[in-house]
Amino acid sequence: MIMTKPANRFNRGQARIIEAIAATIIVLMLAALLPIIFNSPTTTLRSQVQTNTEWYAYDVLLTAINNPQFTYYVQHGNWSAIRSLLNTIVGPQYDWYIAVVPYREIVVLTSIVNRGRYVLVPLSIIPSIYYAPPLGMPIFVTSTSASMLSLNIYAINSLLGSSYSINTSVPLSNVAFIQCKNPLETNITQCLESGNVRMLSWWLEYFDPRTGVAVVWLNATGNVYMLVSNGSTPFNVLSNSYCQYPYCYPIGGVSNIMYSSFNAPYNNEPQFINYYTQQSLSQCYSSSNGMYSGTNYLVKIKTSGGTASGQSLNSPTTASCTLPVPAGISNNNVVGINAYLIGQLLTSIPGTNFTFGFGNVEVELNVCFINGTCINDYSGTMAGASFPISIGNVDVIETYGNTHEYLTLSVNGNINTTKLPSYYYVYLLTLSLSLNPAKCGVDMNASIYDLVTMSGVSQSYFYNLTSNNGLNCTQLTTDPNITSVSLTMVPSNLLIQQSTPQNPNNGVYYVYNATTIIYDLWITPTPTTSYYMPITTSYNFELLNRYNVVPLQYRERFFLGAFAPTASAYAIIQLPNGTYYLVYLGLMSVTGG
């Protein structure tokens, strides 16, 4: 919410109120248009860690492709219009090159199993491990029960052919996931024919129709197969019939944000990722606490700021709820904890803080000795430290300012803050803690990702167990009497809190509530995200140039020869006739900038 500064106090206050009301209307309109936003033109999901020039390349590509005429130009071969569009968008310090390539020319999908009424696309999901000598067994860095996959549905659809297609209007509604009961088995056909197969629980966190990217959670690792049926619902391999409901609900389902955006009422509660339900949040709901339940979200939070004379709002200035951390995290977590929150800002008051974090984080030590004895939850003194080691509170905080929004990572009072490039109205907020044995400490990361603009900001902090608590990791790993060592992080609770300044901001009274919606909330051990699909994609420049449908005279701005891009960006677009193209944009500096 950007506000100006009128010359006198009266005009300034009056203008602030008018602008606040206008901003509120804009945000409410944005919320109402959420389903439309999620169905805007196809673009690519850009990385959150890129150089400035790469960001610029993606900004240019996104701006071009989001032009409603872009796909029309491609389908009708109006290349001069595309050249004019890029000349308008790209700064004069860059030469540019564009390629529009039929997607099937650069990708190959192998090992698909065709079963008639459905096809199976194989995935190999590999949990990461590390060895910390003298340990006799591997310690898993990523969870073997919570896997997070990022799949480009447009890319898969372009390769499946005309008989099979993943539904994107009700996203992934005809998809299921299966595997052999032995997850290391590779002959899925034999498993199906012998009945030695299982349907996997899964959950669609998010699908972006602009990019085709779907974020999917599974309760499995190993050899997994994505099932795509030729019907409107998945095929149930256990009953040998089509599922009664989309997603084979309740085996699969969607998040509340997907329910809200696509009107897909198959939102479920995937307990394999420790999802907080409305029942678990029931202790939070009350008008005095400023928290309310809803039909397609978990909680709506309202807090009030200063009120004008004669007016008051029936909301507290601070809404706070402390939730228990699921037992599976506290008891079984070894090296990492991740917390996720999908929220939406409806109305904001400058100075309002939204806090999401772990309370009273502790590190415990488990050791086994050469004589065969083991000490779990060791609370004595070893290797220079007293256990459990208390880290304190670890929070990620959003602050809504007058002109910008801010992201803060707070570790027991140590503050790191960064400014967001814009207000994030629909966002994914993430907080992760992971033990780093090599550095004898804990890596902490907070991030916010805007589901509308596809931009993200992150903050990181390293908590050194040696300098802060005197832990001697070297002694633990070299003591001849110790055969195994494991450190475990245990948070005591999860905090959700919104607080709004009680006093007027710069003398301006806000006569409405700061309001935030929480759609989805869950915690997992560090999920497995390493996987392989039998898709080979070539981004070789010579190959792109060979299959480029853009005529030579329209491919480049200056035609300087020997084009050598300093930054590149890619997008997958779908034309109205259903065909897919890869769009490549390369930038080369011509000024040394």
Say which CATH topology domain 282-525 has.
Jelly Rolls (2.60.120)
Report the alpha-carbon distance of residue 343 to residue 83 in Å, rounded.
Answer: 39
Per-residue pLDDT, 3: 31
Please name every residue paired with 136 in a beta bridge, in sequence order, or none if there are none.
none
132 band by pLDDT with thresholds 50, 70 and 90: very low
Residue count of the chain: 593
Question: What are φ and ψ of residue 374, in 5° steps?
Answer: -130, 145
- The answer on pLDDT for 63 being more than 80 is yes
H helix and E strand count, the chain = 12, 35
Q: Which residues have a Cβ under 8 Å from the Cβ of 325 and sit 6 or more positions away?
A: 358, 490, 491, 492, 493, 494, 523
Report the alpha-carbon distance of residue 531 to residue 153 in Å, rounded.
Answer: 16
Q: What tens digit of pLDDT does each residue of 500-547 get?
A: 987 766 777 788 899 999 999 999 988 988 777 766 667 788 888 889
Annotated domain spans of the chain:
33-105+538-589, 107-273, 282-525
Stretch among 173-177, 292-296, 341-345, 477-481 having the lowest mean pLDDT = 477-481
Determine the 3-state secondary structure of 496 from DSSP: strand
Per-residue pLDDT, 324: 92
432 band by pLDDT with thresholds 50, 70 and 90: very high
Which structure tokens are listed for 196? Answer: 């030695």
Range from 270-279, 328-337, 526-535 that averages highest in pLDDT: 270-279
Under 8 Å between Cβ of 247 and 218: no
Would you say the pTM of this structure is higher than 0.85?
Answer: no
DSSP structure string for 199-227: EPPEEEEEEETTTTEEEEEES--EEEEEE
Place of tokens 């150089």: 51
Per-residue pLDDT, 411: 96
Q: What is the DSSP letter of 157?
A: H
Q: Which residues have a Cβ under 8 Å from the Cβ of 91 and sit 6 or more positions away?
A: none
Under 8 Å between Cβ of 348 and 1: yes
Q: What tens digit of pLDDT does each residue of 90-128 get?
A: 988 899 999 999 877 887 666 788 999 999 999 888 887
Average pLDDT over the chain reads: 82
Q: Which residues have a Cβ under 8 Å from the Cβ of 554 and sit 6 or more positions away?
A: 79, 80, 82, 83, 98
Under 8 Å between Cβ of 539 and 548: no
